[in-house]
Amino acid sequence: MTKKTDPATAIQNLKHFGEFGGVNPSITDSATFTFMTEDEMIRAFHGEAEGCFLYSRHWNPSNKYLAEALAAMEGTESAWVTASGMAAITTTLLQLCNTGDHIITSITTYGGTFAFLNNYLKKFNIEVTFVNITDIESIKRAIRPNTKVLYTESMTNPMLQISDIPELAKITKEDGISLVVDNTFTPMIVSPHLLGADIVVYSMTKFINGKNDCVAGAICASEEFINAISDVNTGTAMLLGPVLDPLRSSSILKNLGTLHIRMQKHSENALYLAKRFEEMGLRFVYPGMPSHAQYGLFNRIMNEGFGYGGMIAIDLDTAEKAAPIMELMQVRGVGYHAVSLGYFKTLFSNSGKSTSSEVPEEIQKEMGLSPGLIRFSVGLDHDIENTFQVIKSCLVDLG
């Protein structure tokens, strides 16, 4: 595949000025907006008033600036920003599915997503089939006449599998199914929409914002879909109200301008650790190494220049062995023993006991999740060799 996609330049090419010529767009913190005529307000409620803002649960200028930048990054017609990544996921799926519909999804997925799909959707009689997303034939077998969505993550959490988005897109288009891809782990590295996905969702809390100072999400899709979720009468986003605060939109937009640099450094550091772990003979998972099962696929679908991502995992067999090592790594300054990812400091946690704890133990075993898996979100460390040496010392002292 020819790698011509440059999401960073797409963002840099945007011209967003403040109302007084500021280099940053002005922040609009108004909840409601004035109309000069009654007819204009009526037309706005019917979605017929171009350039008018009605109410900030519907649209807000600051949110629109961020949405435009995200759409430019993803190559979609439009986008909508939400108050969390889960809000982006749930809004999308509830808009696409009705009672009696069917969803196919990866068994390896973020714990909160798993809980929503496996537990919450039952109240709406929406059925979900979990599959190994790397097994294309199992996906084909799972398709039913009422299948509406195939949902996956570009890089799955926490097993770091790579979804074959172009192949999945072929399957879904043949059957009229919507392909929804969570790209939280790989912004800029992978462009799911340009590979065939219909809708791309994000937790912007993570790499996109990069500061772990807010919770936010995004839905990148066609103009038709974004208009549908924000429709005043039937839109899931409009009626459930998961809107992002415009002050947060403004701060995320500024952070988005440095995302490409941060992803390059996260990736550089994670690849360095992977190579050093390999030298140690440590069991690890990193999609940027030839030993990874989908290394070739990843190279075919990724954009050039951003690396293989900042997520890496090591397998210490048991939670009892992992726990003291994580505690010691925090004490010795590797980073923070905390969930989440995309922070400028390294974060690490035992996935089975934290971000995948919603997944029952028998299913964790089915998906191959080791009880001793420690997932690292590698930070922007300037001296990554020193970080490695500290990790090594913790493993040696307590291994």
Structural domains of the chain in order of their starting residue, each with its CATH number:
7-256 (3.40.640.10), 260-398 (3.90.1150.10)
Instruction: State pLDDT tens for residues 40-92.
Output: 898 888 877 777 898 999 999 999 999 999 999 999 999 999 999 999 999 99
CA dist., res. 132 & res. 295, Å (int):
17
Please report which helix (H) or strand (E) contains residue 284, including its range: strand 284-285
Average pLDDT over the chain, rounded to whole? 95
pLDDT at 396 over 90: yes
Q: What is the pTM of this model?
A: 0.95
Residues facing 109 on adjacent strands: none
pLDDT band at 4 (very low <50, low <70, confident <90, very high): low
Q: What percent of the chain has pLDDT over 90?
A: 87
CA distances from 397 to 135, 329, 391 (A): 40, 11, 10
CA dist., res. 165 & res. 180, Å (int):
10
Instruction: State pLDDT tens for residues 91-130.
Output: 999 999 999 999 999 999 999 999 999 999 999 999 999 9
Q: Which of 226, 232, 252 is nearest to 91 (CA)?
A: 226
pLDDT at 355 over 80: no
Q: What is the pLDDT of residue 1?
A: 40
Instruction: State pLDDT tens for residues 317-347.
Output: 999 999 999 999 999 999 999 999 999 999 9
Pair type for strands 217-221 and 78-82: antiparallel
Q: What is the pLDDT of residue 47?
A: 77
Q: What is the pLDDT of residue 353?
A: 81
- Which tokens hold the place of 295? 């290394």
Q: Which of 114, 173, 16, 122 is nearest to 351 (CA)?
A: 114
